[in-house]
Amino acid sequence: MLDPKQKAAAKQAPLALIIGCGGLGMGTARALGKHHPLLLVDIAADRLAAAVDNLRLEGYDASGQPCDITDPVQVGVLGQRLGQGAGVSVLAHIAAIGNIADDWRQMMVVDLIGPHLIADAVQPHMVHGGVAIFVGSLAGYLPPLDAKIEALLDAPLATGFLDEMAAVLGDAPRWVDTYAYAKLGVMRLAEKRAIAWGRNGVRALSLSPGLIDSPMARAQGATLPSHDGEEREVSRDEKAKEVPLGREGTMLEIISVLEFLASDGARFINGIDIVVDGGHRAYWRDRAVITR
């Protein structure tokens, strides 16, 4: 947290831009706010205002920008605001929806098209030495290797993207499949941007949580799809038995890794996905659940 003199200096410092002010977003804001002034972005104006007020009360230099990340016009307004400041040192893109989506297209728009729109808007304002961290998911490792689908996921802003995905996934894919493909697309977005932005001294990477006890996870219910070849649901406790460490992770365990990735100590980590899952991916690979 910043004292008054530090706050005055921070007005001229590059921002930590937090997309999404849910549970993980707020934890991330508190971690990054120790080092940077904060700009929080969320679609819910009331929730955003409350989040900013709470952070300011705690002593952070924080402000907010209401924005629907799926609306190019609103994202453009965010970009204009960033252009009036000292730039962005850290982009932490956290906003996503799971099985609370009304339909699979809504999930794909929020979870994949949104991050692409944000990346395009923020890119001109990233400062040298900055980093963009896109939150993926262990689920992003579930889709089989398929060059055609991956090419689609790399260009979600193209006309007809959702219709082409419907042709691949069917008209009513399971939410877990949609989520997995969207998060694979986010992981690929980070990898592609690492190449393009690295020339300007800006890093890009993704961080993929595994089975985490979080507000979003709890909102999705007490069961998860099995990955044993059967179409069935299993309890979160049963799912946790797949994790070699034998438990769910905590949000703090995700936030601490994200804070490190945003620090100078990680300045040569670029273009990869960091999996924080207690060994769950290794378990899946050992049992040929995934091939990635």
What pLDDT does residue 10 have? Answer: 46
Task: Answer whether residue 4 shows pLDDT above 90.
Answer: no
What separation in angstroms does the CA of 290 have from each of 90, 175, 187, 213, 275? 31, 18, 16, 23, 14
Report the distance separating Cα 259 and Cα 216, nearest Å. Answer: 20
Is residue 291 included in any domain, yes or no?
Answer: no
Sequence-ordered strand ranges (E) for 11-145: 15-19, 38-42, 62-66, 88-93, 126-135
Helix (H, G, I), strand (E, B) or coil at 102: coil
* Domains: count for the chain: 1
Contact 82, 17 (CB under 8 A): yes
Is residue 292 included in any domain, yes or no?
Answer: no
Is residue 244 included in any domain, yes or no?
Answer: yes
Report the distance separating Cα 28 and Cα 165, nearest Å. Answer: 32
Is residue 72 included in any domain, yes or no?
Answer: yes
Q: Read off the amino acid at residue 287.
A: R
Task: Answer whether residue 271 shows pLDDT above 60.
Answer: yes
Copy the structure tokens of residue 45. Answer: 């104006």
Is residue 190 included in any domain, yes or no?
Answer: yes
> pLDDT tens across 63-72, in order?
999 999 999 9
> pLDDT tens across 146-166, in order?
999 999 999 999 999 999 999
Is residue 256 included in any domain, yes or no?
Answer: yes
Is residue 10 included in any domain, yes or no?
Answer: yes
Is residue 48 included in any domain, yes or no?
Answer: yes
Whichever domain contains 172, its CATH number is 3.40.50.720
The boundaries of the domain holding residue 34 are 4-286
What pLDDT does residue 2 have? Answer: 46
Angle between helices 114-122 and 72-83 (to 10 degrees): 30
